[in-house]
């Protein structure tokens, strides 16, 4: 199959899913949002959306979750029934299902987000009355129409995890920071290196240099007994 034929096939799959998104959102109600993503353009990956749980529009950007799938390429797996929290505080129960063409190439995702904030609050009240301990904290995910906000969030998260300013990091710590950002798919976004550089207060040339060094020193991906690469998130064959 030529690249043009593959692109047409992928476009057809995305177009076919737009009414599916509308139908799912209409069935599940106002607390539901269904999003169709095109990974070929991560800066504006939202090609169809029904519902308004995260406030995004067609042409909006993918979240950190989508960027992580892009980073894993054809080894990406579905992410099902997970909890995350928007920056505005909404608690979402979500599933992200990767889209593959007939050759098995991952090129997009169908995402379902349910706003379960009210249900969680009611559950917390009941749990408190019953003397049950609080659940583990839910991570925050950046949902927006601008990919820069997602890149900024990932940089800040990894940088704060280091517990030091950029100038206080040694070479190995800086390389680990860039390796972590690369593993999250940050550099699949056009212009991300410049954005990362600005966020860290370094030059774009320095950012590219650290990225190249991080990739050159990265360990080989873990493998299972068959020699296949494993998904780092769950240790199972991707």
In DSSP notation, 51-79 reads S-SS---TTPPP-HHHHHHHHHGGG---E
- Structure confidence at residue 147 as a pLDDT band (50, 70, 90): confident
Mean pLDDT of 137-150: 79
- Structure confidence at residue 135 as a pLDDT band (50, 70, 90): low
Q: Which residue has the tokens 């692109």?
A: 7
Q: Which H or E run includes 97?
A: strand 91-100
Alpha-helical (H) ranges within the chain are 3-28, 64-72, 117-130, 147-162, 171-183, 192-200, 204-216
Cα torsion through 83, 137, 185, 112, rounded to 10: 10
**What's the start-to-end Cα distance of the chain, in Å?**
24
Which residues 6+ apart lie within 8 Å of 88 measured at CB?
Answer: none
Q: What pLDDT was estimated at residue 121? A: 75
The rounded distance, in Å, linking the Cα atoms of 108 and 125 is 38
Q: How confident is the model over 70-103, as pLDDT tens digits?
A: 999 999 999 999 999 888 889 999 999 999 999 9
**Which of 9-23, 89-103, 185-199 bottoms out in mean pLDDT, i.e. has the lowest?**
185-199
Q: What pLDDT was estimated at residue 98? A: 97
- Structural domains of the chain, ranges and CATH numbers in brackets: 3-130 (3.30.450.20), 147-216 (no CATH)
Q: What pLDDT was estimated at residue 224? A: 42
Between 232 and 189, residue with greater pLDDT: 189
Residue 228 has pLDDT above 70, yes or no: no
Residue 109 half-sphere exposure toward CB, CA atoms < 13 A:
30
Closest CA to 66 of 99, 25, 105: 99
Q: What pLDDT was estimated at residue 234? A: 36
Q: What pLDDT was estimated at residue 35? A: 96
């Amino acid at each position: 199959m030529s690249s043009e034929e593959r692109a047409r096939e992928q476009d057809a799959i995305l177009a076919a899913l737009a009414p599916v998104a509308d139908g799912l959102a209409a069935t599940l109600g106002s607390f539901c949002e269904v999003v169709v993503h095109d990974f070929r353009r991560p800066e504006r990956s939202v090609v169809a959306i029904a519902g308004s749980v995260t406030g995004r529009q067609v042409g909006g950007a993918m979240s950190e979750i989508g960027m992580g799938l892009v980073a894993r390429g054809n080894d990406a797996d579905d992410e099902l029934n997970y909890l995350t929290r928007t920056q505005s505080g909404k608690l979402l129960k979500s599933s992200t299902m990767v889209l593959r063409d007939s050759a098995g190439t991952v090129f997009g995702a169908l995402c379902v987000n349910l706003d379960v904030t009210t249900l969680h609050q009611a559950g917390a009240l009941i749990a408190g009355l019953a003397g049950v301990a609080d659940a583990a904290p839910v991570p925050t995910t950046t949902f927006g129409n601008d990919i820069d906000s997602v890149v900024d969030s990932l940089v800040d998260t990894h940088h704060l995890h280091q517990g030091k300013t950029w100038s206080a990091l040694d070479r190995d710590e800086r390389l680990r920071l860039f390796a972590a950002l690369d593993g999250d798919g940050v550099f699949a976004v056009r212009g991300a290196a410049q954005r990362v550089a600005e966020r860290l207060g370094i030059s774009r040339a320095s950012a590219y240099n650290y990225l190249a060094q991080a990739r050159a020193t990265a360990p080989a991906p873990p493998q299972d007994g068959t020699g296949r690469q494993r998904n780092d998130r769950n240790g199972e064959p991707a």
